[in-house]
Amino acid sequence: MSSKKSKSVFMCAECGHEVGRWLGRCPGCRTYNSFAEVAIEKKAAPSRSVGIASIAAPTPIREIASLEDEKTTTGLGELDRVLSGGIVAGSLTLVGGEPGIGKSTLLLQICQFMPISPILYISGEESLAQIKLRADRLKVDSQNLLLLAETDLNSISQAIDTINPALCIIDSIQTMYTDEHSSAPGSIVQVRECTAFFMRLAKARGISVIVVGHVTKEGSIAGPRILEHMVDSVLYFEGERQASYRLIRAVKNRFGATNEIGVFEMKDVGLVGISNPSEYMLTGRPIDAPGSVVTCTIEGSRPILTEVQALAARTNFGNPRRVANGLDYNRMNMLLAMLERRAGFNLSETDVYVNIAGGMRISEPALDLATIAAVASACHNRPCRPQMLVFGEAGLTGECRAITAVQARITEGAKLGFSEAIIPQGNLKGLKTPKNMRIYGAANISEMISLLFQ
C-alpha cells in the first residue's frame, strides 16, 4: 500500500500567494506577517459528480446559446438595488461584514419574501433552536424555508442532493470543512476548497448560493482576494454596529453595476430599507454652526447628501494633530496643505479634525471642496449658509476641477430644499439650473472660500 506523501508550503492569508519558505512580507499583496504554514496532501482527482461539465473541444462563440440572466427579487427594495434587480439563478454571492452588524438577520429576512422554493439555510455557528428564535422575532414563518445545522461538506452535499433547493445560504463559510484536507476549519485551504465546491454546485445545477464571510481585525474578509475572485457578487456591510442604520455596498457584481449601495435601518423587526437616504443622513444637522458643510456624493448611480464636519483648535503639542473619520487621511493632509499654500491659512499650530457625519466612508474626489470649505469655516469660526451645497475636486495648484454627474447632484439638492450650490466653474456649461436655486462657479479654492462667506 502506497503511503500518502505530504508537503508544507507557506501561504499568504490575504491573497493566497504560496512560497516554499516563510517571508516577512508577501511579494504579491505587500502585506507584512501574513504567511502561515499549510500542509498540502496529495489526493486522488476530485469527482466530477458536482461540477461544470468538461468541454472536449473549443466551441465557436456563435454556436453558444445566449442565456438571459433572469433575476429573482429578494423582497427588499434596497437589497434589489444593490444587486441590480435581484439574485441570478446559478450565481454565487459573498456577504461580508463585522460580527453582529446584521448579516444573518438580512439573509433570514429574504427567506420570507423570495418567491422561490425550497430555500435551504445552512448554519455552522448556531443551533436550529437559535435560528428559530431569531425567525420568530423577525416574523419569518415561510413554509419554503428548511434549516440545517451542519459544517461537514459531505453531509451538506447529501442534503442538497436530496432537497435540490433553489436558494442555498451558507452561514458562514469559515465554519465549513472538508475531510479531504487535514487543516482546521477557517484556514485558507478549507475556505478556498469549500467556496470552490459551492461555486461548482451553483454553476452545474443552477442553484443560487449565498455565503457569509467573516472579516478580519483590519476590516476585510478573511482571505479576501481568494473569495472575491471566485464568487460572482461581493456585498459588504458598512457602518457602525452602534448606529441604527446599515449600508450594503456591492464591491463586485458580474450581473450589474458595482459600488451600488443600499441603506437600511435596524429595528426590532429586522432591517428596513430607507428610500430617501439623503434626508435620513441630514437628520439632526446643526444650523448656523461653524465647520458644517453639506455635499453630495455619488454612490453607484445614487446621489446622497451628506454632512462634512470640521473642527479646528489650537494645538497643545509640538506637532498639530490631524484626524480623518470617513475620508482618506492622506487626502485630507493634501487638502490642508493646499489651504496653507494656495489660500493663505496658517495651520501649523492648529489641530484639525474632519468627520463625515453618520459614519459613511467617501472616497470620491468630489468631496475635496466640501472638506476645504468645512475646515475654512471652522478656522474662521464663521458658519456657512445652511441651504448651500458644496462639491468638486481640487487640484494641487488650487484649481477647482470638473466632476461627473453634476446634474444629478444639483437635482437631489433641490429636492431637499437647498437653494444654493458652489461647484467647479468647468461644470457650469450646459447645466440646467432648477427653479429657485442659484449656482456659483469657482475657478480655484480662494474664489470658492470667498463665495462661501459672501
Q: Domains for the chain: give ranges and CATH numbers.
A: 7-41 (no CATH), 71-275 (3.40.50.300), 280-453 (3.30.230.10)
* Contact assessment for residue 91 and residue 199, using Cβ atoms and an 8 Å cutoff: no
- Candidate from 5-9, 10-14, 56-60, 329-333 with smallest mean pLDDT: 5-9
Q: How far apart are the first and last CA of the chain?
A: 89
State the pLDDT at residue 81: 92
Pick the closest to residue 211 from 78, 221, 14 (CA basis). 221
86 CA to centre of own chain: 17
Above pLDDT 90, what percent of the chain?
Answer: 59
Parallel, antiparallel, or unpaired for β 420-424 and 388-390? parallel
State the pLDDT at residue 41: 59
State the pLDDT at residue 51: 46
State the pLDDT at residue 241: 65
What's the whole-number mean pLDDT along residues 324-353? 95
Tens digits of residue pLDDT in 18-33: 888 888 888 877 888 8
Sequence length of the chain is 454
Cα–Cα distance for residue pair 273/264, rounded to 1 Å: 4
* Sign of the torsion angle spanned by Cα atoms 51, 53, 58, 60: negative
* Contact assessment for residue 285 and residue 294, using Cβ atoms and an 8 Å cutoff: yes
* Sign of the torsion angle spanned by Cα atoms 303, 367, 361, 266: negative
Q: Which three cell numbers stand for residue 201?
A: 454546485
DSSP secondary structure string for all residues of 351-395: EEEEEETTS----SGGGHHHHHHHHHHHHHT-PPPTTEEE--EE-
Of 392 and 39, the structure prediction assigns the larger pLDDT to 392
Cα–Cα distance for residue pair 106/111, rounded to 1 Å: 9
State the pLDDT at residue 242: 67
Cα–Cα distance for residue pair 292/289, rounded to 1 Å: 6
Give the model's confidence band at 189: pLDDT under 50 very low, under 70 low, under 90 confident, else very high.
confident
* Contact assessment for residue 292 and residue 311, using Cβ atoms and an 8 Å cutoff: no
What's the whole-number mean pLDDT along residues 42-64? 62
State the pLDDT at residue 360: 83
pLDDT at position 13 over 80: no
Of 384 and 219, the structure prediction assigns the larger pLDDT to 384
Read off the pTM: 0.78
* Sign of the torsion angle spanned by Cα atoms 205, 255, 231, 43: positive
Give the model's confidence band at 415: pLDDT under 50 very low, under 70 low, under 90 confident, else very high.
very high
State the pLDDT at residue 225: 61
- Candidate from 108-112, 238-242, 253-257 with smallest mean pLDDT: 238-242
DSSP secondary structure string for all residues of 78-130: HHHHHTTTSEETT-EEEEEE-TTSSHHHHHHHHHHH-S-S-EEEEESSS-HHH
- Candidate from 7-11, 20-24, 293-297 with smallest mean pLDDT: 7-11
Tens digits of residue pLDDT in 344-392: 999 999 999 999 987 788 999 999 999 999 999 999 999 999 999 999 9
